[in-house]
Structure 1
Amino acid sequence: MPRSLAGESVGVLGLARSGLAAARLGLARGAHVYASDAGSSDAAKEAAEQVRRMGGDAELGGHDLAKLAACGRIVLSPGIPPTARVLKEEAIRGVPVIPEIEFAYEQLDSPVIAITGTNGKTTVTALIEHLLRADGIDAVAGGNIGTALSELAMREPQPAWAVVECSSFQLAGIHRFTPRIGILTNLAPDHLDWYDDVEAYYADKARLFTNASADSRWILNAEDERARTLIGDAPGTRLYFRVETAPESEDELGGWLSTGELMIRTEPGRTERVGDAADLQILGPHHVANALAAAVAARLAGASVQGISDGLRGFAAPAHRLEPVVEKDGVLWINDSKATNIASTRVAVRGMTRPTVLLLGGKHKGEPYTELLPDLQGVKTILAYGEAAPTIVADLEGRAPVERVDGCFEDVVNRARQVARPGDAVLLSPACSSFDMFRNYEERGRRFAQLAREGA
């Protein structure tokens, strides 16, 4: 049950969507809140004003360490990694730091479906929300997608299910956060610009299972060895989703593909068909796996087979995730701006059925681009751009058809237009973060779509 925070002093680091929501939640529950943000954008200024109007204290352009040190705990916005410099300051070393999802969970009545993994978690989160709502179940997606979990905690009435996308940064600091149903989509190296090594990154993902119990339901990728085994000996029921292989036994719970049909089994002896892979509107074989994981979760949460089947047929790709933008003169333009790591771009390229002009670049995240080589057979040209362009060229030159494009993002898109021929696809799947040219991957994707349409 939600509890009063009267008499508590709570610090909030970051005043973007989740940080502002946490500050509002704390104030609504009676806490004294000090919120700060190192930036001073117009959005941050408006957020700070909201905090002040509710009776809180807000600061932009930096953090008052004395005020943070006086707090009983500090709530961390998801955009701020646990390695942030301010968290290493001696003055606040003894103050507990928790992620926003942990703070919100304490005030949440709704059971939680939590989704994490390196790639696919946003699509799976959106799919589960869509499937449940298609069957008349009040479900809302939050966390690292859509609505901040703190907003859901303030909603009256609270939803029947909170469907929560969890990043590794958010999971790193959880203590009480306990999903009723948890999903691990897959694992691959990522965020190596923040983590010392990939094992440290995987260790934070493994915190999804921290509070596992016999009542927990875990949906795991059977065809990703690390994702399948990361759970260790945590208690709860395991369900597996798979596309390339058949269930290991008639007793295995989960979802699988059988001669093009999507099959699920969420309890012993009950196998159910929930659709046909050919009817999915989302591109690529990896999305079949996403659909199976989401279908299993929705069935566990009470959705009917018919509702799941109808929902799967009606689900379109979320923006910036292998999103078809426009086709003109025989060239299909595809926005996969959410692909901010090598593994995600590999999945995108594997799903292409046309000769592909690949736009690769942005802010380098520490992974070698040589890992793309096994999947580049259908790529006719790689256009390397942005801060990462020299590294991309150095890794791939002489081994793949790579060309460096200097200048602004519009120059990159114009060059793609020159290179592409009827029957080709132009794929923005950058394998890098967006922060060299854009505020986030959404802005990058919107600009790509705008330029693609304008030139069509």
Structure 2
Amino acid sequence: MPRSLAGETVGVLGLARSGLAAARLARSRGAAVYASDAGDSELARQAAEQVRGMGGDAETGGHDLGRLAACARIVLSPGIPPTAKVLKEEAIRGVPTIPEIEFAYEQLDCPVIAITGTNGKTTVTGLIEHLLRADGVDAVAGGNIGTALSELAMREPQPAWAVVECSSFQLAGIDRFTPRIGILTNLAPDHLDWYDGVEDYYADKARLFTNASAESRWILNAEDERARTLIGDAPGTRLYFRVESAPASEDELGGWLSAGELLIRTEPGRTERVGDAADLQILGPHNVANALAAALAARLAGASVQGICDGLRTFKAPEHRLEPVGEVDGVLWINDSKATNIASTRVAVRGMTRPTVLLLGGKHKGEPYTELLPDLARVRTIIAYGEAAPTIVADLEGRAPVERVDGPFEAVVEHARRIARPGDAVLLSPACSSFDMFRNYEERGRRFAQLAREGA
């Protein structure tokens, strides 16, 4: 049942969607609230005004360390990494900090399916919600996608299942957060602009298993050695999904691909067919793996085989994740703006079936672009842009066909339009964050889609 926070002062860092929702949740449970955001954008100011309107206090353009030090605890929005400068301030070192998903979980009554990993989180999260809903189950996606978990905690009645996408930043500070079903999609270096090294990043991902018990159900990528073994000796039932190999034994629980059929086994001795890979509307072999992981979670959550079959056939690519946004003069334009790391872009280019003009750039995250070289067989031209352009060119020039385009994003897209030929694809899969030109990857992707369609 909801827990009263009367008499407690809650601080909130970050006034984007999740931070604002956390402030609302705290106020709805009787807490005093102080929220702040280092930025001073119009959206941040509007959010601050909403917090004041509900009886809290808020400011933008900085943080009042004295006010934060007086809080019983500080809730971190998903965009606030554990390494953020404000968290190292001496004045607030004694104040407990928790991620927004932990704060919301304390007020949540429904069971949780949690999804983490380097890539595929958003697709798998959206798929699970879609599969459960296709079978009539009230499931809502939240966390790092869609609705903030704090919003779900305030919903009356609460859904049957909360399907929660979890970033490494969100998992870093969890204490009680306990998914009934957990999924680790894959692991690859990411956020090296924030973490001291990849092992620190993986360690935060491993916190998914912090509160594992014998009742836990863990869905793991059998073909990603690090993702398969990160769980260590945590208790619970393991189910493995795989696309390029067969189950290790007849007793293995999980999902696999056989002669184009999607097969799952969630109980010993019972193998169930949930569809054909050819019927999926999402691009690339990695999405077959995503479909299997989602099907396993949905089945464990009570969805019928028929509901899963129907849902897999009707699910379409999430916005910004290998999303076809139009075909103009024989050129297919694909928005993969959520590919903000090298591993995600590698997955995207591997799945291309047309000669491809690749838009690569944004704010550099510390990874070498040479790691793309083994996967560029179908890439006819790379357009390097944004702050990362000099680094991209330095890494790839002489080893891959790369061109640098300076100037605004509109100039980048226009150059792609000029050099693309009928039968080509123009793929925005940047391998970088968006913060040099845009507020977030969503804004970048929508601008790309708009510019692509304007050429029709």
TM-score scaled by structure 1? 0.99
Residue 387 of structure 2 is matched in structure 1 by 387
- Per-residue CA deviation, residues 398-442 of structure 1 (Å, 9 max, x unaligned), is 100111111111111111111111111111100000111111111
Bigger shift: residues 412-421 or 346-355: 412-421
Secondary structure in structure 2 of the residue aligned to 1:98: strand
Residue 116 of structure 2 is matched in structure 1 by 116
Residue 406 of structure 2 is matched in structure 1 by 406
Secondary structure in structure 2 of the residue aligned to 1:238: strand
Residue 438 of structure 1 is matched in structure 2 by 438
Residue 233 of structure 1 is matched in structure 2 by 233
Taking the aligned partners of 1:255 and 1:315, their CA distance within structure 2 comes to 18
Q: How does 1:183-198 map to 2 (within 5 A)?
A: 183-198=183-198
Residue 346 of structure 1 is matched in structure 2 by 346
Residue 75 of structure 2 is matched in structure 1 by 75
- Contact 2:241 / 2:254 at 8 angstroms: preserved in 1? yes
Secondary structure in structure 2 of the residue aligned to 1:35: strand
Q: How does 1:356-435 map to 2 (within 5 A)?
A: 356-435=356-435
Residue 107 of structure 2 is matched in structure 1 by 107
- 1:153 Cα shift? 0.2
Taking the aligned partners of 2:382 and 2:61, their CA distance within structure 1 comes to 39
Taking the aligned partners of 2:402 and 2:206, their CA distance within structure 1 comes to 37
Using the aligned pairs only, state the percent identity: 90
- Per-residue CA deviation, residues 53-112 of structure 1 (Å, 9 max, x unaligned), is 221111121111111111111000001111111111000000000000000000000100
Taking the aligned partners of 2:450 and 2:396, their CA distance within structure 1 comes to 29
Taking the aligned partners of 1:427 and 1:108, their CA distance within structure 2 comes to 40
Residue 48 of structure 2 is matched in structure 1 by 48
- 1:50 Cα shift? 1.7
Residue 169 of structure 1 is matched in structure 2 by 169
The amino acid that maps onto 1:415 is: H
- 1:244 Cα shift? 0.4
- 1:40 Cα shift? 2.0
Secondary structure in structure 2 of the residue aligned to 1:45: helix
- 1:44 Cα shift? 1.6
Aligned pair count reads: 456
The amino acid that maps onto 1:202 is: Y
- 1:328 Cα shift? 2.1
The amino acid that maps onto 1:239 is: L
Residue 309 of structure 1 is matched in structure 2 by 309
Residue 31 of structure 2 is matched in structure 1 by 31
- 1:45 Cα shift? 1.8
Q: Which runs of 4+ in 1 moved over 4 A?
A: none
CA RMSD across the alignment: 0.7
Taking the aligned partners of 1:146 and 1:311, their CA distance within structure 2 comes to 19
Secondary structure in structure 2 of the residue aligned to 1:10: strand
- Contact 2:328 / 2:455 at 8 angstroms: preserved in 1? no
Secondary structure in structure 1 of the residue aligned to 2:418: helix
- Per-residue CA deviation, residues 197-232 of structure 1 (Å, 9 max, x unaligned), is 000000000000000000000000000000000000
- Per-residue CA deviation, residues 238-269 of structure 1 (Å, 9 max, x unaligned), is 00000000000111001000000000000101
Residue 150 of structure 2 is matched in structure 1 by 150
- Contact 2:129 / 2:163 at 8 angstroms: preserved in 1? yes
TM-score scaled by structure 2? 0.99
Taking the aligned partners of 1:139 and 1:83, their CA distance within structure 2 comes to 33
Residue 92 of structure 1 is matched in structure 2 by 92
The amino acid that maps onto 2:104 is: A
- 1:119 Cα shift? 0.2
Residue 214 of structure 2 is matched in structure 1 by 214
- Contact 2:356 / 2:425 at 8 angstroms: preserved in 1? yes
Taking the aligned partners of 2:127 and 2:116, their CA distance within structure 1 comes to 14
The amino acid that maps onto 1:148 is: A
- 1:32 Cα shift? 1.1
Bigger shift: residues 437-446 or 197-206: 437-446
Residue 5 of structure 2 is matched in structure 1 by 5
Residue 261 of structure 2 is matched in structure 1 by 261
- 1:115 Cα shift? 0.2
Residue 318 of structure 2 is matched in structure 1 by 318
Taking the aligned partners of 1:401 and 1:230, their CA distance within structure 2 comes to 37
Answering whether residue 329 of structure 2 is matched by residue 329 of structure 1, we say yes
Taking the aligned partners of 2:164 and 2:48, their CA distance within structure 1 comes to 26
Q: Runs of 5+ in structure 1 lacking a partner?
A: none
Taking the aligned partners of 1:399 and 1:155, their CA distance within structure 2 comes to 54
- Per-residue CA deviation, residues 158-182 of structure 1 (Å, 9 max, x unaligned), is 0000000000000000000000000
The amino acid that maps onto 1:105 is: Y
Q: Runs of 5+ in structure 2 lacking a partner?
A: none
Bigger shift: residues 445-454 or 159-168: 445-454
Secondary structure in structure 2 of the residue aligned to 1:118: coil
Taking the aligned partners of 1:356 and 1:60, their CA distance within structure 2 comes to 42
- Per-residue CA deviation, residues 295-316 of structure 1 (Å, 9 max, x unaligned), is 0000000000000000000000
Taking the aligned partners of 2:2 and 2:214, their CA distance within structure 1 comes to 24
Taking the aligned partners of 1:48 and 1:453, their CA distance within structure 2 comes to 35
